Amino acid sequence: MPNKRGALPFAYTATRAGARREMIRAMERPTINRQALSGVIIAAIFGIGWAQWGASGLTGAVAGVVRAVTVLLGAIILVRAFRLRRIAPIERFSMFASRGYRLIVVLEVIAIVAGSVLLNGTGHPAYVAVWIAAVVGVHFLGFGPLFARFYYLVGAIIVLGAVAALVVGLAGGGRHAIESIAGLVTAATLLSAAAWPLTRSGDLSGFNDPA
């Protein structure tokens, strides 16, 4: 006959082991939905692009370091986001399918193209980066009242970076200085916004829920 007295410790150990496995699975389970992770991916890709643009205004080893670091950081964010997206829950509300989102993005593209053509045509190509950054920032501000207050912060920082670049340009700074400020502030903001929801301490509500 089996030892009934010895069965209790075995059952207790098995229960603890099962609870431990469930706890590990819960920790690995994403707390951010697919829509939010799509936003993370988009922000990381554009963050890398803006960093390369901003680094073009730098010289020597500094430019190389900025390019390498931002590409590495962006790649880490992308790999993590894609892995989580495969097992993330599907949300009921999709901002990407909403009329407000589409309207803001269409207006953003029109403003970027029109402003860039105008600045280049009037002999002010140095301010193209400022204009595009400002438009990108405003488009995030437009997301704020529609989707989440988190976008107010992202948009405000990018707009302030564009204003700072404009001030530098009007004060006599060259094109490299203007593009560096506008590009790197926008890049840092986008990469930070992409990385934050992937951390355990990040406030995921900014990406997940409508305002």
Please indicate, yes or no, whether residues 63 and 79 belong to a single structural domain of this protein: yes
Take residue 180 and report the two structure tokens written for it. Answer: 């560096």
Same domain for 18 and 43? no
Domain shared by 21 and 95, yes or no: no
Assess contact for 165 and 124: CB atoms under 8 A. no
Q: Between 60 and 89, where is the model more confident?
A: 60
- pLDDT recorded at residue 32: 73
Q: Are residues 124 and 204 located together in one domain of the fold?
A: yes
Same domain, 82 and 49: yes
Domain count, the chain: 2
- Please say if the pLDDT value at position 204 is more than 80: no
- Measured distance CA(14)–CA(104) in Å, rounded: 55
Is residue 188's pLDDT more than 60?
Answer: yes
pLDDT value at residue 24: 44
Residue 151's domain comprises 32-208
Mean pLDDT over all residues of the chain? Answer: 85
Per-residue pLDDT, averaged over 41-58, amounts to 96
| Same domain as 48, residue 131 | yes
Q: Are residues 3 and 80 in the same domain?
A: no
Can you tell me the mean pLDDT for 159-175?
97
Residue 18 has pLDDT above 80, yes or no: no
The more confidently predicted of residues 154 and 15 is: 154
pLDDT of 155 strictly over 70: yes
Q: Is the pLDDT of residue 194 over 80?
A: yes
Residue pair 73/193 in contact (Cβ under 8 Å)? The answer is: no
Q: Note whether 25 and 45 are same-domain residues.
A: no
**68-108 confidence digits (pLDDT tens):** 999 999 999 999 999 998 887 777 777 888 899 999 999 99
Same domain, 17 and 71: no
pLDDT at residue 179 is higher than 90:
yes
Tell me the C-alpha distance between 179 and 36, whole Å. Answer: 29
Rg (CA), the chain: 23
107 and 129 both lie in a single domain: yes
Q: Pinpoint the alpha helices (H) of the chain.
A: 4-28, 34-55, 60-85, 99-121, 128-146, 150-170, 175-195, 205-208
Q: What percent of the chain has pLDDT over 70?
A: 80
Q: Are 207 and 39 in contact (CB under 8 A)?
A: yes
Cβ neighbours for 165, distance < 8 A, ≥ 6 positions apart: 129, 130, 133, 177, 178, 179, 181, 182, 185
Are residues 7 and 76 located together in one domain of the fold?
no
Pair 76, 7 in one domain: no
Q: Average pLDDT in the 20-45 region?
A: 70
Tell me the pLDDT tens digit for each residue of 94-145.
788 889 999 999 999 999 999 999 999 999 999 999 999 999 999 999 999 9
**The model scores a pTM over 0.75:** yes
Among residues 132, 131, 133, the alpha carbon closest in space to that of 156 is found at 133
